[in-house]
Structures are given as C-alpha cells and as structure tokens.
Homo-oligomer: A and B are copies of this chain.
Amino acid sequence: MTVRETRFHMYVEIISRANQIAASTELDDLLDKMLDLLIEVTSAEAGTLYLYDEAHHELVFKVVKGSEDSQRLVGQHIGIERGVAGHVFTLGKPLFINDVATNPHWDRSIGELAGLSLHTMYCMPLMLRGHAVGIVQLFNLPTETCDDSDEIALIELLCSRLVTEVEKARLLSEAQRRERRQQALVEIISRLTTTLDRDELLDRIMNFACELLGVEASSIWLRDDKAGELVLHRATGYRPEQMIAQRMPQGHGIIGHVVATGETVTVNDVLQDTRFYRNIDEKSGFVTRSILCVPLRAPRIELGGLRGAVESRIIGGAQALNPHDGREFDAEDIDLFQSLAGQAATVIRLAQLYGDVETLSTRIIDAITGAIDLKDPYTRGHSQRVSEFSVAIAQELGLDNATLYRIRLASKLHDVGKIRVPDRILKKRKSLSEAEFNEMRRHPTYGVEFLQENGLLDLDLLGDSWRALAEHHERIDGRGYPKGLRGDEISLIGRIVAVADIFDAITSHRPYHPARPVKEAMGILHRLAENEIDPRCVEAIERAREKGLILAQDERV
C-alpha cells in the first residue's frame, strides 16, 4: 500500500470517529472531543475553539486544550476586533502563521496558553451559510501539515462537520430553552389564578416577571381614571419604601404611552427615548437602562347567566427593567411578557369583579342590619357590634379565615327575624305581656325563615352559619329558646354570638336599663358561664378585650 492508501484507511477511521462524536447531543462534550480529534489529526500541541455570541458581537472561548492552567479562559468573551481569532473571523478565511509571537494580530493577553511556547498556528473560521459562527485555532502543528492538501481537505471536512453540529445543537438547545420558558409561563399563570387578593396578586405578577424574563426590576401601573393618573402599585428591585404609591399623570412617560395606545414599547437605551419619565428614577435612585413595557389589557369577561359581561379594557401597564448581564430585550421576551401581562390583567380584573360583588353583598347586609337596628333606636349599632365581638371571639378560638368570614356575615343578621316582630312589641318601653314575650322569642325562628324564603339557607358560601340566627338565645343548660337545645347541641357559632349579644346588651343603653361598665359585664358573663353560656367563649372575649378588640357602645366615637 502507498502512503496515500494507508492514509485513506486512516481518514475513513477518523471520519468514522467524527460520526461517533457527533452522535452526542451534548454540545460541550461534542466540541471538546472534536477539538481533540482535530489536534490529533494535525499533530498539533494545543488548540482553542471559540463560538460567536451574536447578541454581544463577541467570541466566547468554549474549549481550550493543551494547558491545564488555560482552562480559566473557558467562558471568557473577547471583542471580534481583537486577536488573531478576531482577525480571521472578520476575514472569513483560514490563516497559517509561522511565528505566532511576532504576528501583528497576536494578542498575548487573551490568547496566551500558560506553560507552552507557541510557534505555529492554523486558525480557521467555522463557516455556516457564508457566515463565520466560530473559530478553531491549532497551535504548534508541523508546518508541512498546512502544505498538504489532503490534510487541509480532512481538516475542512471535520470543521464543516463541526459547524453543522454546532448549529443543530444550538437550535435544539434554543427550542428546549423556549419550551422550558413556556412551561415556566404555564406554571406561573396557574399560580396567578390562585389568589383574588389584589396586593398579593400584584406582588406575584412582579416576582414572576423578574423570574421569567431575568430582569433587575419590574413594576405595575394601574389606571386611576378619576384622578387622571397612573398609580405604581408594586415594584420589585426598587427600594420599596420609596416606590409604593408613586403616581404620575396619565399619558406621561413610556408607560403612559403604552397605556394610552395599547402598544408594546421596547427601549434598549432609555437615554435615547424622549418619552422616558425621569422623575421616578430620580425619586428612587434606581437607574433604568432599558425598558420593556406592555399594556395590561383585560379581555371581555362573560359573567354567566343574567349577569352579562364586562368589556375589554386596558387597566394599566407592566414594565420590565434592565435584563441581567446587559442583555437586550428580544422578540421572545416580548412574547412572554405579553402573555404574562394578558393573563395578569385577566386575573386582576377577576379579583376586582369578585371584590365588587362581594362588597355589594357585604354592604347590602350592613344596610339590612342597619334597617333592623333602626326599628328600635335603642339598639342602634347593635348588630354591627355583635358581629365585631363574634369575630373577635372566633379569632381567639383560633378559627380559620373562611369560618371568620361566615361568622362576620351571619352574626350581623342574628336579629334579622325582628323584621317580623310588630313595632308595637319591639318598641314597647314597659315590660311585655306573656303573649308579647312569646312573640318576641320567635325572632330566631323568624330569622331562619327569612333566610329560607329568600334562598339564603342553601348557599355553600354561608355553610351552616344560619345557626347563628337560630341558636343565639339557646342556653347550655337547655333553658334557652326557641328549641331548648343543650351543651354541644348548640353550634359553636350559636354559642359565640350568644356571648357577643349578651355582652352588648349589658354594655349598651336600653330602655329597661342603663349601659353598665365593661368590667361589670365581664363579671356577669363569668357568672352566666356556670350554666347559660360557653365558658371558652367568655374567656375568649376577655382575652380579646385585653387586646383592645372589644369596644362597648359608650367607648366608641
């Protein structure tokens, strides 16, 4: 066999090894092994491999071979105007250098391979569709190698192989990264919808935005149309004490433009944008470099049944500021932030809708409560106070928020049955006849009937809290009314409201007695705790009183 024939077999073997290396889907591993192969094939002593970072117009050291110490170079960025690598990158053609040290392009500070004395270098651009995407440098290879057209052909084969692998690995890793970001977005969106608490919601949106986009800070501005302003509700990364409740006139700044027009605005250098509203930075000390600003556009939301729909509107805007590592905002950031902002706007709107209708129901209940108390001027404010006391007792008993909510509502309505008791009995100043007293004692039953007739008894929202109405005059010893229930037969909410009701009756002005001091009232409650009322509730109201949560009628302004 001729030398060339031996070579032929060797080359087939090398290309076969390149195929095996290329089977790896780990780009770093693949680059490492390919550079090894190139060094072996060319009998070089060392080598480096750079890839081009398009976003920063820089070359990045990916692999350095031949010197342990030089591993520190891996990951470093150099400008494409620097060194032999930069020169060849610009040239787009390979270059053989006989004496590295004297070459005018050689830049010792970036290319030095510690412990190696360098003489020759073969530097090749990695070309993809006519553009350089990286650089391979081989050091101290025999001069003959570069005069040997077979060798050069093989090196070119391996390099062209390398470049398509780099490209495919890049496409794959980008697709995988985008997939992960989309997954993160799904996760984030799912977590957004688990709160209707507006402040908590705004907090989450901002934290998620920072996490998802990798930015230094983010903020949300909501419209206050009455004031004609935009209100900064939350900001992450600012000094919070200075930033809460900042306001600015609508239409001002980049955010003002976005809210007014519904356009997304990206500004990668705010100094170049005259719309940038400097006041906020000046007040906060934060230095805004770049902004991605998207509208918070709440969609039309169907409310179901006869409730109609709320129309789509822009409720504000969201900003992401300063991507980490000096990166610029790209199309993918814009897509992700728009998706997040769209969903955020929807959930803010849902929270607002829920809040509105919940406020309506609470205020309507307060209105009923007020109307009942008004039937008897002496009980003015009674239901409201009983509700406050009941909640305070329930809190001391460690009940959860959902239960507290029910107790708050139901205890306000505890006397709603009095709506059916004739005024002549209710307003009577003198003691009642037996018949009148019996009618008066029907008000718990009337109350439950009132709930039932109005379809309020079977609401999941209220659970069994109707027992506050039914059982607040029952007694532990079974001598209460209307049913004469005993001990645990009386619901906890019934026992709580009973204590709150008695406390208010003692400490407020009534036709049949003057208001008595709280201290005296506590004494009476303790006495009643022997057989009438639940001692745990009495202890609870006492503890709540010590914490300042219980204010009698006379103690209020």
Contacts and interface: CB of A to CB of B under 8 A. Distances in A.
A218 to B, nearest CB: 19
Interface string A326-358: 000000000000010011001100111111111
Nearest to A351: B304
A150 B303 CA distance: 75
Nearest to A308: B401
A529 interface: no
A190 B190 contact: no
B342 A197 contact: no
Contact of A300 (B176, B194, B353): B194
A302 interface: yes
A521 interface: no
A402 interface: yes
Contacts of A311: 402
A196 B456 CA distance: 21
B196 A303 contact: yes
Contacts of A182: 179, 182-183, 185-186
Interface in A535-553: none
A357 B172 CA distance: 49
A453 B339 contact: no
Nearest to A24: B164
B360 A462 contact: yes
A442 interface: no
A376 to B, nearest CB: 14
A310 B402 contact: yes
Interface stretch (A38-46, A90-98, A155-163, A484-492): A155-163
Contacts of A304: 195-200, 351, 354-355
Nearest to A19: B160
Contact of A302 (B200, B361, B403): B200
Contacts of A359: 455, 459, 461
A555 interface: no
Contacts of A128: 23
Contact of A307 (B12, B171, B401, B459): B401
B405 A153 contact: no
A400 B19 contact: no
Contact of A178 (B8, B179, B194, B367): B179
Interface string A167-185: 1110110011011001101
A408 B19 contact: no
Contacts of A200: 302, 304
A363 interface: yes
Nearest to A298: B194
Interface string A354-391: 11111111011111101100000000000000000000
A354 B356 contact: no
A2 interface: yes
A156 B19 CA distance: 10
Contacts of A20: 160
Interface in A188-221: 189-190, 193-200
Contacts of A355: 304-305
A356 B300 contact: no
Interface string A294-321: 0000011111111111110000000000
B23 A164 contact: yes
Given A186-B182, A356-B459, A301 B196 contact: yes
A15 interface: yes
Of A200, A302, A358, A408, which is in contact with the most chain B CB atoms at under 10 Å from its CB?
A358
Given A15-B15, A196-B301, A367-B368, 18 more contacts: A2-B5, A16-B156, A16-B160, A23-B164, A23-B167, A175-B176, A190-B343, A190-B346, A193-B193, A193-B347, A194-B300, A198-B304, A308-B400, A356-B461, A357-B357, A360-B361, A367-B450, A370-B454
18 contacts: A2-B4, A5-B5, A12-B153, A15-B15, A168-B168, A186-B189, A189-B343, A190-B339, A195-B302, A196-B302, A197-B302, A198-B304, A199-B304, A200-B304, A303-B354, A307-B405, A353-B354, A360-B456
Q: Report the 8 A-B pairs with minimum CB-CB distance, sorted nearest first.
A: A308-B401, A197-B304, A361-B361, A182-B182, A175-B175, A308-B402, A367-B454, A195-B302
